[in-house]
Amino acid sequence: MDAVNPATGERIATYEADSQADVEAALARADDAFEAWRERPLREREELLAVAGDVLRENEREYARLMTEEMGKPISQAVSEVEKCAWVCDHYAEHASAYLQPEGHPSPPGADVQTVYEPLGPVLAVMPWNFPFWQVFRFAAPYLTAGNVGLLKHASNVPGCARAIADVFEEAGYPDGVFQTLLVGSDAVDDVLADDRVRAATLTGSGPAGRAVASTAGQELKKTVLELGGSDPFVVLDDADLDEAAETGAWARNLNGGQSCIAAKRFVVHADVYDEFVERFVDEVDSLTVGDPTDEETEVGPQASADLLADLHEQVRASVEAGATVLTGGEPMDREGAFYPPTVLADVPEGCPADSEELFGPVAAVFEVDDEAEAVEKANDTAFGLGASVWTADRERGRRVARDIDAGCTYVNQLVKSDPRVPFGGVGVSGYGRELSEPGIKEFVNRKTLWVE
């Protein structure tokens, strides 16, 4: 597997892919490790997770540099990602015991009835390149602490990150086999998932990848959690603080080069403030610093590969041909590397890519609506249902509109984000299941009824 720097096109390193024999050995280690790990006291598992958080902090610059080199994330955002991974370790190190506390139920005199939470076994995690550390720790922190063991199949363009994450758990003192990285291609996923020793799977990625994993897991009757794509609406109502909405919206669309499932993608703006918002929004987008991702001042780096840039530009080109207007950006940048400028499209026709598809890059589509009801209708005019953001000076109005939008997580006067303290996930073609908080740690456990007479 080659790791290629998208800012320069240069090959950073080459990693030897795991053979079929390597995968078989990893599965055997995971199976063996689970039997002892599940019996390890929960408090000890929490303590090890706290150490993993310490390891992340001690090496944050090294891990951040690796992310920047392999997928182009601006270095300041990469440092923040490592810090967030340490945070999720801290969270479950502190709260796992409370989350997994047995729950009592009404029972007849002389009986004690509880639900207890027991781990399932080895869990396969198929993870993407866009947040190469966070996506992994988002599953590993709760699932391992609940007593499961993890097998990571990471994206093929971030093999160094995949290896580094395995090193974090090893350095923290986790037993051999509790967390392992499989350096394999996507064609190996079905066989691993079908193996009897693998008990469940979680995937963050594209719709086709999610359907493939869900299909195989369904045939094998194995639990899955899927976090797939999104086309999140960013609704600006007529009483919104336009300066704050424009500033936050520009960041919500272009963070991580726009390569985020929960990025704001469709800006749905009330007609009474449309012109003023769009002017401010374009100014904010134009003010973003695009450049070398190793520079601390850079806000938008390259796309993760030249192929991804080409796919994004084809969606923009098709949308413009259909009638969309480019307000800023719209063409690949004339410089070395896979750089695409922050772009804003207006007058977006119904059914064109900018309207109906996920644009996984720094391209915002702006839509004008006449009233609140039409704003909700446009926000829900998508097969996706991951997140949504609503902007208004009236908190109760915001709460009402947010409740009417079909999404797994809705935010009022805030960008959509994942946070260890609250559940995260989507509906529709954005997937199912929840990560983080208490629901996240309980996705891959046996909720066993224990009746003692």
For residue 50, with 0-12 CB atoms within 10 Å meaning exposed, 13-18 middle and 19 or more buried, which class applies? middle
Question: Long-range CB contacts (< 8 A, 24+ apart) of 207-214?
Answer: 207/429, 209/126, 210/431, 213/126, 213/189
- Rounded to the nearest 10 degrees, what angle do helices 372-379 and 395-404 cross at? 40
- CB neighbour burial string for 165-204, b if at least 16 within 10 angstroms, e if fewer: bbebbbebebbebbbbbbbbeeebbbebbebebbbbbbbb
409 given a catalytic annotation: no
Read off the amino acid at residue 143.
Y
* Catalytically annotated residue among 261, 284, 299, 357: 261
Catalytic residue among 69, 81, 227, 368: 227
The CA distance from 273 to 348, in Å, is 18
Cβ atoms within 10 Å of 432's Cβ, excluding its own: 16
How far, in Å, CA of 406 to CA of 303, rounded? 29
**Residue 262 Rama label (left phi>0; alpha psi -120 to 50; beta):** alpha
**396 catalytic per annotation:** no
Residue with tokens 């307000």: 327
Q: What amino acid occupies position 110?
A: G
Q: Which of 360, 267, 365, 264 is nearest to 309 (CA)?
A: 360
Residues noted as catalytic: 227, 261
